Amino acid sequence: MKKKALMSLLVLIIAFTLVTFSQAAKVSASSGFQVNNGVLMDSNGNSFVIRGINNPHIWYDTKAYNALDEIAKTGANTVRIVWDTTGTASRLEEIIKRCIELDMIAMPELHCATGVNDPEKIKDRARYWARDDVSEVLKKYNDYVIVNIANEPGCSRNDSTFTDEVWRDVYKECIDIMRNAGITTTIVIDSRRYGQDYLCVAKYGQDLIDYDPLHNLMFGIHMYVEWNDKNKIIEKLDYLKSQNLPIIIAEFGYNYNDGNNNLHCKVDAQTILDECEKHGFGYMAWSWAGNNRENAWLDMAYDWVNYTEWGDFLINGRNGIRQTSKVCSVFEDDPEIKVETGNNSALYSSHMPGEIDQFIYANSVENMLILNLSAINPDFASLKFPLCLADKPYCLKSLMTLFQFSFQ
């Protein structure tokens, strides 16, 4: 009786999967994050305001990976993954998957572009994302990933080679490279001059949005010494908001030791938090831990766990992470699914891997439904079936509802 019921179930699942798999391919191109009239929207069509933390994965692999649990405890809804072109696609996937398990959006960025003013080298960073193995990872987790092409391109204010126009033109080519590789999610473009220049964004941000065939861009501004004037923070963010430009403050510091620090930074961080909250702009603090000795004042956790004064301010202060961060709705809206197995039942939250009784292991992060047939008969092997690729929680719910079964 058990075998008969199980085989009937398998036939139905195969038929269901073939239909939903083909339907999903039509939808997947439009899923993921989108920018609409200056507002970042998730794949459910809900607005999403980034409240995140930079984490130095490429420099401290194991420590940074383990710190994701601590970062999640702060309430952060996004992690900016410090990465470079030496990083493997397989390790990047592991980090993204862990972020997803912790209900955080992943935003990988290439830190090896810092200060680079050679357009060809900046395009090389776009080519990294477009590489077959890397782009497949980004597309696989499209609903949970935003890509920051290159960290802080362009040198200081005195650099006459990497102009606003060069910045605009090289990023047009980067957009082509990444979109042609099938990357559809939101792309973040850092402003020039170590990310601190707002003028290139004000002048040419809309041109780049119009150029992108998906019109799906955000612009990252970093606030250190160039933003020491509190009034500049207020005035320029007001202006960028008035232009409907999608902005994220992707890094920022604070007034440490009255500006007597290696970056000469006297930034009023409270004003950044207040203005971002007022305008609905995202922010991501620099950084969790691991800064070198001269930058250690920017560590949010002095031992990768316990908060420094800077960390406590960002996490627990007015308009800080705990007060303003909201989990992305791609996690909030995951339904719990009741699956009947004889006299037992189990609840399954669809975005997290988990066991459903002893018979089913459903892992929608990897788009697989696994039937543990050996629990019925040790001579049987486990079978895997692809879940539909788009709108995974709801397809899984339909699947489970349709194929509830009992073993008498």
284 DSSP β-pair partners: 52
Asked whether the beta carbons of 48 and 40 are under 8 A apart, the reply is yes
187 DSSP β-pair partners: 147, 217
DSSP 8-state secondary structure symbol assigned to residue 256 = G
Asked whether the beta carbons of 271 and 238 are under 8 A apart, the reply is no
Q: Is 93 left (phi over 0), alpha (psi -120 to 50) or beta?
A: alpha
Instruction: For residues 7 and 30, give the distance between their C-alpha atoms in angstroms, rounded to a whole number.
Output: 36
Instruction: For residues 189 and 148, give the distance between their C-alpha atoms in angstroms, rounded to a whole number.
Output: 6
218 DSSP β-pair partners: 188
Distance of CA 371 to the CA centre of its chain: 31
User: Which residues, other chains included, contact 380 with Cβ-Cβ below 8 Å and sequence gap of 6+?
Assistant: 373, 374
- The per-residue b/e assignment along 343-362, b for 16 or more CB within 10 angstroms, e otherwise, is eeebebebbbbeebbebbbb
Residues in the chain, overall count: 408
Between vectors from CA 246 to CA 244 and to CA 252, what angle results, nearest 5°? 125
What single-letter amino acid sits at 125? Answer: R
First to last CA, the chain: 7
Q: Shortest CA distance to 201 belongs to which of 159, 249, 158?
A: 249
Instruction: For residues 264 and 406, give the distance between their C-alpha atoms in angstroms, rounded to a whole number.
Output: 68
Task: List C-alpha distances in Å: 85 to 79, 117, 189, 294, 387.
Answer: 18, 17, 17, 25, 32
| Residue whose token pair is 């007015």 | 318
Distance of CA 236 to the CA centre of its chain: 26
Task: List C-alpha distances in Å: 162 to 125, 158, 263.
Answer: 16, 10, 22
Instruction: For residues 162 and 155, give the distance between their C-alpha atoms in angstroms, rounded to a whole number.
Output: 8
**What are the catalytic residues?**
152, 251
